Amino acid sequence: MINVGVIGTGMIGQDHIRRMTSVLSGVRVCAVSDVDAATAASVGERVGAAVHTTGQELIADPSVDATLVCSWGPTHEQYVLAAIAAGKPVFCEKPLATTTEACQRIIEAETAYGGRLVQVGYMRRYDSAYRALKAVLDSGQIGNPLLMHCAHRNPSVPGVYEKDMAITDTAVHEIDMVRWMLGEEIRAVRVLVPRRSRNGGILQDPLFLLMETAGGAIVDVEISVNIRYGYDIRGEIVGEDGTAALGELSPLVVRHAGQVATPVPADWRERFIRAYDIELQEWIDGIAGGVPATGPSSWDGYAAAVVSDAGVSALHSGERVPIALMDKPKLYAAEAAA
């Protein structure tokens, strides 16, 4: 049984606690912590977990085998570094950190430790639809990929969501997915700014991100975070000999009153429910088996942060922003993605 401590008991923290306590096997939530002490206390009481005042205290708790970081992005670095210093596995929700420099500090700490302790929550790599799309691409059936069209649509976002988060918190999923899907790094990014949705308040919504890969493929991403009708994730690859796209995912089709309708997921929890289950179960099984993490690494978190930083500059400047990564440390050399 792996004893996991959860830092951050907000939306995804509670969702991961639910899956660890009632869906997954071989795991127990033994401790929680949140700057919002009242939420941490009520979640801790509900699942019978110890409540720690700080994340650092939780990581140092000898009964905690591994840590799940689900606090706000800018707070991730301190907890990931503390877990590495304690030599304990840590699963960090995306983004690994909100700046390139913070990700570099994590890479330095993990390489100095000499083994992989960090996994980042880029769960699309575990989604059956994305995996099926990648299998078609890798089979060579549609030829070399030339273009990919993506849409990332949220019905709404919380009040704390700020302008740059369309890139750093939302499009960052496509940034990671594209590196994994196409197996190449991203070499430049531009952001086009259409007229604003009246549903977006002070946000610039939607945005249109254009990425160029090292091999010359072009990827466009529509980011709409106040689309109202539901949570809709779309992706289509245009190859030399054909195209392949994520299908419609609903198991239900209603024909009524001259219309055909299928439900759209309400949010990310519903759309990616199985992907989150699989990513965490594999992480837990790996720890139990003494196998270092095999999912998205600190390097993937770093690469996504570099592109995301470039995306934010492109949003502010309107320019094409080229991207350069540091040399990949040996620790991550064997990884397939880019």
Residues contributing to the site for ligand ISE (CB under 6 A): 154, 157, 169-170, 173, 225, 268
Q: Is 123 in the site for ligand NAD (CB under 6 A)?
A: yes
Distance from the Cα of residue 110 to its chain's centroid: 20
Q: Do residues 34 and 40 make contact, with C-beta atoms less than 8 angstroms apart?
A: yes
170 binding partner (options ligand ISE, ligand NAD, none; Cβ < 5 to 8 Å by kind): ligand ISE
Opening angle at CA 98, ends 275 and 127, nearest 5? 10
Q: How far is the CB of 91 from ligand ISE (least distance, A)?
A: 14
Binds ligand NAD (CB under 6 A): choice among 5, 13, 200, 286: 13
Q: Is 226 in the site for ligand NAD (CB under 6 A)?
A: no
- Provide the token pair at 313: 């500059």
- Provide the token pair at 47: 């699942």
Q: Do residues 76 and 93 make contact, with C-beta atoms less than 8 angstroms apart?
A: yes
Q: How far is the CB of 36 from ligand NAD (least distance, A)?
A: 4
9 binding partner (options ligand ISE, ligand NAD, none; Cβ < 5 to 8 Å by kind): ligand NAD
Q: How far is the CB of 323 from ligand ISE (least distance, A)?
A: 22
227 binding partner (options ligand ISE, ligand NAD, none; Cβ < 5 to 8 Å by kind): none
Task: Locate all alpha helices (DSSP H) within the chain, ordered by sequence.
Answer: 11-22, 37-47, 55-60, 76-85, 100-113, 128-139, 165, 172-182, 268-271, 273-288, 298-317
Q: How many chain residues interact with ligand NAD (CB under 6 A)?
A: 24
CA–CA gap between residue 194 and residue 208 (Å, rounded): 8
Residue (221 or 244) nearer to ligand NAD, CB: 221
CA–CA gap between residue 173 and residue 151 (Å, rounded): 11
Binds ligand NAD (CB under 6 A): choice among 1, 37, 63, 72: 72
Give 272-319 as a DSSP string.
Answer: THHHHHHHHHHHHHHHHTTPPP-SS-HHHHHHHHHHHHHHHHHHHH-S
The footprint of ligand NAD on residues 260-299 (CB under 6 A) is 268
Q: How far is the CB of 246 from ligand ISE (least distance, A)?
A: 14
Q: Is 12 in the site for ligand NAD (CB under 6 A)?
A: yes
72 binding partner (options ligand ISE, ligand NAD, none; Cβ < 5 to 8 Å by kind): ligand NAD
Distance from the Cα of residue 96 to its chain's centroid: 9
How many CB atoms sit inside 10 A of residue 334's CB? 7
Q: Is 39 in the site for ligand NAD (CB under 6 A)?
A: yes
154 binding partner (options ligand NAD, ligand ISE, none; Cβ < 5 to 8 Å by kind): ligand ISE
Residue (161 or 299) nearer to ligand ISE, CB: 161
- Rule CB under 6 A: which residues touch ligand NAD? 7-13, 33-36, 39, 55, 70-73, 75, 93-94, 121, 123, 169, 268
